[in-house]
Amino acid sequence: MASPPHLRSLRRASTVRRPVEQVAIGADGVVRRTRADALATEEPLEIRLVRPGREATRVVVTMRTPGADFELAAGFLFAERIVRAPQDVAAIRYCTEGEQLFNVVNVVLTPSAEWEPSSLAERAFPVTSACGVCGKTSIEGALGTACPRVESDLVVTPEILLGLPDVLRRAQAVFERTGGLHAAALFTAEGALVRLREDVGRHNALDKLVGAALLAGELPLSRGIVLVSGRLSFELAKKAARAGVPVLAGVSAPSSLAVELAESVGMTLAGFVRGSRFNVYSGGERIAASLHATTGRGG
């Protein structure tokens, strides 16, 4: 699924350098100086579906940070139930013609893939890096079909869960240079980092993470913990549930609909995971009993 060697050096970079004027107030008054700063790259990615012998069909255009583009495409298509297994994907490759070099990905489906082209009609317009459901034309389309119930006997201790944000932060290479990216990471029940993906979009980061697991034949993620760097939206909860994630955690708050979804599928949802405490919104049975010695509200 890799691109030809002579094209790899031309791929879009995940960061760019730009001049910035820094303004600071010190003992001698206002000081202004110009320096180079690293910014997270944000560019469009068009995802297309290809059937052998047919023309490519545009699925969506999303704004993303270049890198792990094939995983992003696979994860997005899995979340939308267009791709259901790695056997559905014959190949993924860049379109290397025109000005948008490496900004268009063609996902070639196998003949056995169950994809109905008319199902794409609900995606009415491009989505942004910040949005997972903007392209849906109705509430029913946004909610989608019911997620399967999450089946897992995984249990995690509070100490392990509270230690994950520090591991996530240290592993965010692009965030370290730019301060401008979201992240989604997969951990074992023992707190070992399995895989991390970054992007300007929260949903893109999780799509990349799930896409990597899909292409590696690792779904469902029934023995893993997924931690995201921001708030826990409904769309993130839905993507995690479809991937079979038993424990989804975030350093910020969940939405009410995310909690409802987690409860309905039996997924553990933990928010405000930072410092020495966190809130459990659903699935508390997967958190080791020592957590229940502490009571109270907060976040």
Positions annotated as catalytic residues are 131
Query: Residue 4: left (phi > 0), alpha (psi -120 to 50), or beta?
Result: beta
Q: Which residues contact 200 (CB under 8 A, 6 or more apart)?
A: 40, 42, 63, 64, 65, 129, 180, 181, 182
Distance CA 70, CA 47 (A): 9
Q: How many helices (H) and strands (E) does the chain have?
A: 8, 12
CA distances from 40 to 13, 69, 172, 195 (A): 9, 15, 12, 20
Q: What is the DSSP string of 88-102?
A: GEEEEEE--SSSSTT
Which tokens in the block code for residue 138? Answer: 């109705």
Distance CA 51, CA 49 (A): 7
Helix ranges, the chain (H): 5-8, 69-79, 139-143, 158-171, 173-178, 202-215, 234-242, 256-265
Angle between helices 256-265 and 234-242 (to 10 degrees): 20
